[in-house]
Amino acid sequence: MRSVYLYKRTFIISITLVSILIVFTKCINNQNKKQEQKEENVLTGSVITYDQFAGSETCAKCHQSITDNYFHTAHFYTSQNAAEQSIKGSFIHGKNSFTYDVGKIVSLEKKQDSFYQVYYYKGKEVVRRRFDIVIGSGTNGQTYLSWIGNHIIELPVSYFTQVHQWANSPGYPLSPIIFNRPVTARCLECHATFAQAINYNPDIPPMFDSSKMILTVGCEKCHGPAAQHVAYEEQHPNDSIGKFIVNPAKLTRQLSLDVCALCHSGRLDELKPPFQFIPGDSLNDFYTSSDVSKKAGVMDVHGNQLGVLSASKCFQLSKTMTCVTCHDPHTNERNNTTLFSQRCQSCHTNQHKAIEGLPDDVVKNNCIDCHMPLQESTSISFLLQNKTQPVNAMMRTHYITVYNDETKKFIKQYTSSQKKKL
């Protein structure tokens, strides 16, 4: 009896020991895996919060030249606090109003250090809202946001750079004049680095914590929240390998595209709360393409470069092309046509067929106007005062192909510029 008991006891003890060992090894393995994953891809899977960000200014200490360059990019200027320098429109008397209809005027006013949009009906003030956040670098235009409690609304009057005038906000009716359209979280997700949503619920207008908002499309939007990276590198100044940070260059083609696609693939439908996607994640786990953007022929250029590029042979028939093939994400290279044309020639090394009427070097230095012509954006489109049709901003198409009419236009312009020189 006793020996059976002893045997049983030993058996139980061994089993327990073995199980403990198994569990223990598993734990270690899991921990190793987690650690590996964490080092590769900082925070994937965990909830992203405000405290995990270090801010773009912090990076300057160790990545000086990248940071200096970055401060001149459209990403940096795309959202700012409202101030004299950030608002492009004029507050000078005579230029500071938008007339909606007889007796219905929105006036743009400065009072001490604040700026307001004020609706006057037959000369009487009806609504007054402050400019709080500026959206848009002003390359094409700007739209302004205003806090009402924890909500953010878009103001009715925007600024259109092409004509240097105030304009009706894109998609806004002329009547009634709207001062309460809530800003979606997606709007901020594409134009800012982080906003802390309060009680996220996709069915009601979002609420945000104004003390936990990071404006600009900052370094950490493309590299992941970096407080841990900064802390680690500060404590290990002799370590030459970057830890707890994502370098998109080391991601697969699809995941690298996803970093930009978060904001450059047009309308998407949310599967998860906003501001949780970070570089290294698969965008498919967070968003599905929206039915609106699937409508054939709709060139939703407000942020849909990926969709348009994907239709091009360059993209389909090269195995490596990403956005970074042509764009240096840290530098403002706007209108540097020669530089972009050199990047085309990293793949198109054969000399171009001669084009009648153009010297070869002219063809060589500007692939862009003929193969990626400017087209009208139907979504960045502003209605001006006393006009019935909106004016569309001109955007580069990323559908890279042969446009015969553009070639004719190019030759004509070149010929007349040569004549002028004579």
Contacts to ligand HEC from residues 133-162, by CB under 6 A = 135-143, 154
Cα–Cα distance between 144 and 168 in angstroms, integer?
A: 11
Token pair for 245: 């940070």
Listed ranges 21-29, 39-47, 215-223, 287-295: which one lies at the site for ligand HEC (CB under 6 A): 215-223
What burial class does residue 122 get, using C-beta atoms within 10 Å of its C-beta: 0-12 exposed, 13-18 middle, 19+ buried?
exposed
Write the CA distances from 314 to 142, 289, 347, 403, 406, integer angstroms. Answer: 32, 22, 9, 15, 19
Instruction: Give residue 149's region: left, alpha or beta (phi > 0; psi -120 to 50).
Output: left
Token pair for 83: 């101030």
Work out how close the CB of 120 gets to ligand HEC at its nearest, in angstroms, rounded to a whole number.
Answer: 24
Token pair for 115: 């700026």
Within 86-125, the residues that bind ligand HEC by CB under 6 A are: none
What burial class does residue 196 get, using C-beta atoms within 10 Å of its C-beta: 0-12 exposed, 13-18 middle, 19+ buried?
middle
> Which of 121/276 has CB closer to ligand HEC?
276
Listed ranges 115-123, 132-140, 205-213, 289-297: which one lies at the site for ligand HEC (CB under 6 A): 132-140
> Which of 105/368 has CB closer to ligand HEC?
368
Question: What length is written for the chain?
Answer: 422
Within 254-273, the residues that bind ligand HEC by CB under 6 A are: 259-260, 262-264, 266
Work out how close the CB of 289 gets to ligand HEC at its nearest, in angstroms, rounded to a whole number.
Answer: 11
Work out how close the CB of 123 gets to ligand HEC at its nearest, in angstroms, rounded to a whole number.
Answer: 30
Work out how close the CB of 265 gets to ligand HEC at its nearest, in angstroms, rounded to a whole number.
Answer: 7
Cα–Cα distance between 143 and 380 in angstroms, integer?
A: 11
Within 284-313, the residues that bind ligand HEC by CB under 6 A are: 301-303, 305-306, 309, 313
Work out how close the CB of 188 gets to ligand HEC at its nearest, in angstroms, rounded to a whole number.
Answer: 8
**By the rule CB under 6 A, 229 interacts with ligand HEC:** yes
> Which of 105/153 has CB closer to ligand HEC?
153
**By the rule CB under 6 A, 409 interacts with ligand HEC:** no
> Which of 112/320 has CB closer to ligand HEC?
320
Cα–Cα distance between 357 and 172 in angstroms, integer?
A: 46
Cα–Cα distance between 396 and 399 in angstroms, integer?
A: 9
Token pair for 320: 């490596």
Contact between 144 and 131 under an 8 Å Cβ cutoff? The reply is yes
Residue from 326, 381, 383, 392 binding ligand HEC (CB under 6 A):
326
Number of residues interacting with ligand HEC: please give it, by CB under 6 A.
Answer: 105
Work out how close the CB of 32 gets to ligand HEC at its nearest, in angstroms, rounded to a whole number.
Answer: 20
Token pair for 131: 């400019």
Cα–Cα distance between 313 and 160 in angstroms, integer?
A: 34
**By the rule CB under 6 A, 324 interacts with ligand HEC:** yes
> Which of 105/261 has CB closer to ligand HEC?
261
> Which of 128/364 has CB closer to ligand HEC?
364
**By the rule CB under 6 A, 38 interacts with ligand HEC:** no
Cα–Cα distance between 222 and 217 in angstroms, integer?
A: 8
Within 339-398, the residues that bind ligand HEC by CB under 6 A are: 340-341, 343-348, 352-353, 355, 358, 363-364, 366-368, 370-372, 377, 380, 395-396, 398
Cα–Cα distance between 66 and 79 in angstroms, integer?
A: 20
One-letter amino acid at 385 equals: Q
User: Could you tell me where the DSSP H helices lie in 122-218?
Assistant: 185-191
Cα–Cα distance between 56 and 214 in angstroms, integer?
A: 10
Listed ranges 1-9, 63-71, 92-100, 121-129: which one lies at the site for ligand HEC (CB under 6 A): 63-71
Work out how close the CB of 362 gets to ligand HEC at its nearest, in angstroms, rounded to a whole number.
Answer: 7
Listed ranges 17-25, 40-48, 118-126, 248-256: which one lies at the site for ligand HEC (CB under 6 A): 248-256
**Distance between the two ends of the chain, CA-based, in angstroms?**
118
